[in-house]
Amino acid sequence: MDAPGNMYYFQMLMLLLLMGVCTFWLGRMLQWLLLRKTHPRRKIFFILIISLVLSYLLALLFWFIWPHPAKPMWSIFFLPAVSGELIILIITIVIFKRRKQP
């Protein structure tokens, strides 16, 4: 008996989550450190959740366009997830940067 076609998509999404868990975790910790003194906890929580979803989607997109002979893992880091995390962290710094008081 064959598995349904969407089961393969689910397995691929879970594989991406498994391979990128260290990268996603470190990205959220760095993002939390950037935001913890300037924003309330509730806002930081929603920013972290939304950025995790966006980073996951970017990593999925980068994984689709990743060249096939190249290996996507570097030690414990999943390189498409690192690319997505860097983009999200740069956007976070630009949007939520600290404004210096005169």
Domain boundaries, the chain: 19-65+74-95
Out of 4-8, 24-28, 81-85, pick the least confident.
4-8
pLDDT digits (tens, 9 = 90+) for 31-89: 999 888 888 889 899 999 999 999 999 988 888 887 777 777 778 888 888 999 999 99
Q: What is the CA radius of gyration of the chain?
A: 16
Q: Say what the pTM is.
A: 0.79
31-61 in b/e form (b: 16+ CB < 10 A) is beebbeeeeeeeebeebbeebbeebbebbbe
Task: Give the pLDDT band (50/70/90) at residue 101.
Answer: very low
